[in-house]
């Protein structure tokens, strides 16, 4: 009897193509297998949502603390210059809060319900990001307690975005 009060909708998510997801990534993917996997998930996401990847140069770093500080500052300035004031930013960072897959899907839904036009995910360089980038972020997401190479984080992010769209569309996706 209560079905008429809560009809099951096939799509809970509004697929507005004027909206955009932008991935800002410090560093380029080098491994062919990783490039192929990330590209596969980007293609899977496209029927659901417009998505773009912006790769920024990673700065040389090593054992020199001054050089490392300069690298973080330079990379962080490049990140901030790639973000518009109206964009909603999620920074992937070990100091963030964990989000389950359903929570990430709900975060996407909530952002677009608030008429966010561009949702930006930021993956910083190997040394992290400046406090200015953390302050600019609307949400800081800890993907895992573990540390992963940059390319693997990009793969995990694209997979989780694809999974989010499957969740929001009430479509099954293997666990």
Helix (H) or strand (E) holding 158: helix 150-168
Give the pLDDT confidence score for residue 2 in this predicted structure: 37
Instruction: Give per-residue pLDDT as tens, 4-50.
Output: 343 333 344 444 446 899 999 999 999 999 999 999 999 999 999 99
Which tops the pLDDT comparison, 18 or 162? 162
Instruction: Give per-residue pLDDT as tens, 99-151.
Output: 999 999 999 999 988 888 999 999 999 999 999 999 999 999 999 999 899 99
pTM, full prediction: 0.88
User: Which region, left, alpha or beta, applies to residue 65 given φ > 0 means left and ψ of -120 to 50 means alpha?
Assistant: alpha
Beta strands in the chain (DSSP E): 20-26, 50-56, 88-98, 118-123, 139-142
């Amino acid at each position: 009897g209560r079905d008429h009060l809560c009809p099951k909708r096939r799509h809970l998510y509004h697929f507005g193509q004027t909206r955009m997801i932008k991935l800002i990534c410090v560093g380029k993917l080098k491994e062919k297998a990783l490039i192929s996997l990330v590209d596969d998930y980007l293609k899977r996401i496209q029927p659901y949502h417009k998505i773009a990847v912006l790769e920024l140069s990673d700065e040389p770093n090593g054992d020199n603390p001054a050089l490392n500080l300069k690298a973080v500052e330079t990379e962080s300035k490049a990140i901030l210059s790639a973000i518009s004031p109206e964009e909603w930013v999620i920074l992937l960072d070990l100091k963030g809060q964990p989000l389950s897959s359903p929570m990430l899907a709900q975060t996407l839904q909530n952002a677009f319900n608030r008429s966010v036009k561009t949702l930006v995910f930021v993956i910083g360089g190997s040394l992290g990001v400046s406090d200015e980038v953390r302050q600019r972020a609307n949400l800081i997401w800890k993907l895992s307690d573990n540390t992963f190479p940059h390319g693997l984080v990009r793969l995990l992010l694209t997979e989780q975005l694809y999974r989010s769209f499957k969740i929001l569309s009430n479509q099954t996706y293997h666990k």
